[in-house]
Amino acid sequence: MNTPVMKPTLLALALLAARPVLAVDYRDLPLADTHATVAAVDPARERLRLFLDDAAGAPFKRFDGVAAWLDARGQRLVFAMNAGMYEPDRSPVGLFVADGKQQAALNTKDGVGNFYLKPNGVFFLRADGTAGVLETSRYAAAGIQPLLATQSGPLLVDDGIIHPAFNPHSTSRLIRNGVGVDGKGTVIFAISDGPVSLYEFATFFRDTLHCANALYLDGTVSSLYAPALRRDDARAELGPIIGVVDARIDDHSGARRHGRGRSIKAVTPESNTASPNRARR
Pairing of strands 24-31, 255-257: parallel
Task: Give the whole-angstrom CA distance, residue 70 versus residue 68.
Answer: 5
Per-residue pLDDT at 71 exceeds 70: yes
The predicted pLDDT at position 23 comes to 85
Could you read off the pLDDT of 205-228 as tens digits, one per residue? Answer: 999 999 999 999 999 999 999 999
Could you read off the pLDDT of 135-193 as tens digits, one per residue? Answer: 999 999 999 999 999 999 999 999 999 999 999 999 999 999 999 999 999 999 999 99
Q: Which of 84, 248, 87, 115 is nearest to 177 (CA)?
A: 84
Q: Is the dihedral of CA 266, 271, 277, 281 positive or negative?
A: negative
DSSP state of 206: I
Amino acid identity at 29: L
The predicted pLDDT at position 278 comes to 39
% pLDDT > 70, the chain: 80
Q: Name the average pLDDT for the chain.
A: 85
Spatial strand order in the sheet of 224-226: 48-51, 241-245, 77-82, 224-226, 231-232
Residue 254: pLDDT band with limits 50, 70, 90: low
Between 66 and 1, where is the model more confident? 66
Where do the H-state alpha helices sit in the chain? 10-18, 63-71, 136-142, 198-203
Residue 275: pLDDT band with limits 50, 70, 90: very low
Task: Give the whole-angstrom CA distance, residue 238 versus residue 91.
Answer: 9
Pairing of strands 224-226, 77-82: antiparallel
Residues 38-56 have a mean pLDDT of 96
pTM: 0.83
Domain boundaries, the chain: 26-257
Per-residue pLDDT at 16 exceeds 50: no
Could you read off the pLDDT of 232-248 as tens digits, one per residue? Answer: 999 999 999 999 998 44
Between 20 and 73, where is the model more confident? 73
DSSP state of 76: -
3-state secondary structure of 260: coil
